[in-house]
């Protein structure tokens, strides 16, 4: 019997993601000027306010308010009508120095013996449903919102006429949800349901002040948004997909757009946002497992982040090498201890090698050094690479090299860094995995 599986995503303008992006932008700023910075930065955003809190140990001086306003402006909160905008929001900082009790467990005379920054378990997952080895439901959820943000910035589609000028009615806050139908062989057979909720301007004016006139205006706005999602957004997303995924869309698709009927009040004015509240959106959309630790605002000495990236790197290379069609990797640590407490692998009965999952896990521990410092060096994590991770998922993204420039009135010269983004998505261990598992 066929079954359904659902994942969701949220846009860069979602209040929780605004908080994540601010936290990671601050982390990048510290790492750009002092790669040895220890950072655990949390952000809260609400109507007209930003609160920064956390612990930092660094030789760098960072203008926290300048960085915060830059991120908010980039996202698109730059109008007073949003009740949260980059130029006028209040910013309160309660960031203080990192606990010496934690720091003593992390730093070591021998850098490779650096202890884990905390206890806990982290998961990595990969499957062969998509070209980037991610669950299809989550991959489509992200793509819908990435394209919706592009349409918002282009301001040439999904628009209305305002004072003689064509204007985008889209606002930064949005959510998506995709349901995939699977057959009994766990293969996706069709896209069953898509839900899009997007914040928008109040772009239809009621003819009078009556309740009936307002409801008619709301219905007209909803119909316009529904039609644009169906005829503009979906075709643009589908055109980007490989043919085998395009074939999963049919005329039975259930499309729900702004199901409440109206979404004008949104962003941090509509809901308070906090760093670390979208951990399933950030990872695998409900597939695999999650240890509970968030990523954003944490430097790579925190294994919540670095070991989760390393576990994804392992899982993706195992699937790409042909070890299994689907892989879950768990790694666990004790605070202050370099070697992981355990490494666990689950191939869901889809392995292509004649060995148990326990044996696969043992081989994995021989191929991949999972000490925190080794992970940092292998994946080049002591670089300012994190702001880009803080929206549309940390996993399944395209590895690339970029040049980033950091300027500050605390420093006379700008810092220019060439960095690699999403190194944990590289398939650079496929050959080593094939050799270790006899798959040459």
Q: Which residues are annotated as a binding site?
A: 14, 16, 42, 55, 98, 173-175, 262-263, 271, 277-278, 294, 298, 302
Residue 14 CA, distance from chain mean position: 12
Give start and end residues of each alpha helix (H) in 52-200. 64-75, 100-106, 136-154
**CB count in 10 Å sphere of residue 145:** 27
Residue 47 token pair: 């109507």
Angle (deg, nearest 10), helices 15-33 and 64-75: 130
Residue 119 φ then ψ, to 5°: -80, 170
- Binding residues for K(+) are 42
Cβ atoms 399, 426 nearer than 8 A: yes
- Binding residues for ATP are 14, 173-175, 262-263, 271, 277-278, 294, 298
What is the rounded (10 degree) CA torsion for 336, 28, 415, 56? -50
Angle (deg, nearest 10), helices 357-367 and 303-321: 110
- Binding residues for L-methionine are 55, 98, 271, 302
- Binding residues for Mg(2+) are 16
Nearest Cα residue to 41 out of 372, 274, 379:
274
Give start and end residues of each alpha helix (H) in 118-204. 136-154
**CB count in 10 Å sphere of residue 426:** 14
Between the alpha carbon of residue 33 and those of residues 89, 214, 409, 416, the distances in Å are 27, 53, 13, 10
- What gap in Å lies between CA 399 and CA 392, rounded to an integer? 14
> What letter would DSSP give residue 347?
-
> What letter would DSSP give residue 273?
E
- What gap in Å lies between CA 378 and CA 384, rounded to an integer? 15
> Beta strand pairing status for 90-97 and 49-57?
parallel
- Residues whose CB falls within 8 Å of the CB of residue 262, separated by 6 or more in sequence, listed in order: 218, 221, 222
Residue 304 CA, distance from chain mean position: 14
Q: What is the DSSP string of 138-152?
A: HHHHHHHHHHHHHHH
Cβ atoms 300, 37 nearer than 8 A: no
Radius of gyration of the chain (CA): 23
């Amino acid at each position: 019997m066929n079954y359904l599986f659902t994942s969701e995503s949220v846009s860069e303008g979602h209040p929780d993601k605004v908080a994540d992006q601010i936290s990671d932008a601050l982390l990048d700023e510290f790492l750009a000027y002092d790669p040895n910075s220890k950072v655990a930065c949390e952000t809260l955003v609400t109507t007209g306010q930003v609160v920064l809190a956390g612990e930092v140990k660094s030789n760098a001086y960072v203008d926290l308010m300048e960085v915060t306003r830059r991120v908010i402006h980039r996202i698109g909160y730059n109008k007073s009508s949003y009740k949260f905008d980059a130029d006028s929001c209040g910013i309160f900082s309660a960031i203080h120095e990192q606990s010496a009790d934690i720091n003593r467990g992390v730093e070591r005379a021998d850098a490779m013996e650096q202890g884990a920054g905390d206890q806990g378990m982290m998961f990595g997952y990969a499957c062969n449903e998509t070209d980037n080895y991610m669950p299809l439901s989550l991959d489509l959820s992200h793509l819908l919102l990435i394209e919706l943000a592009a349409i918002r910035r282009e301001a040439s589609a999904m628009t209305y006429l305002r004072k003689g000028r064509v204007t985008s009615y889209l606002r930064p806050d949005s959510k998506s949800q995709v349901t995939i139908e699977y057959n009994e062989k766990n293969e996706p057979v069709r896209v069953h349901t898509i839900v899009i909720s997007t914040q928008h301007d109040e772009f239809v004016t009621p003819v009078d002040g009556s309740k009936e006139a307002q409801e008619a205006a709301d219905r007209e706005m909803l119909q316009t948004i529904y039609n644009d999602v169906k005829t503009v957004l979906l075709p643009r997303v589908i055109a980007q997909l490989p043919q085998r995924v395009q074939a999963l869309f049919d005329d039975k698709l259930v499309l729900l757009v702004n199901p409440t009927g109206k979404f004008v009040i949104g962003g941090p004015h509509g809901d308070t946002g906090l760093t670390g509240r979208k951990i399933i959106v950030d990872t695998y959309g409900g597939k695999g497992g999650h240890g509970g630790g968030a990523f954003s605002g944490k430097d790579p000495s925190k294994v919540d982040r670095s070991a989760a990236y390393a576990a994804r790197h392992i899982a993706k290379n195992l699937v790409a090498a042909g070890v299994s069609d689907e892989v879950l990797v768990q790694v666990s640590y004790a605070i202050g201890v370099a070697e992981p407490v355990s490494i666990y692998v689950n191939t869901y009965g889809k392995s292509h090698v004649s060995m148990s999952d326990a044996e696969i896990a043992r081989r994995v521990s021989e191929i991949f050094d999972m000490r925190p410092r080794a992970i940092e060096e292998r994946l080049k994590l002591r670089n300012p690479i994190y702001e880009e991770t803080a929206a549309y998922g940390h996993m399944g993204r395209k590895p690339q090299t970029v040049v980033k420039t950091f300027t500050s009135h605390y420093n006379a010269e700008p810092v220019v860094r060439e960095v690699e983004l999403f190194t944990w998505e590289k398939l650079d261990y496929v050959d080593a995995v094939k050799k270790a598992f006899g798959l040459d």
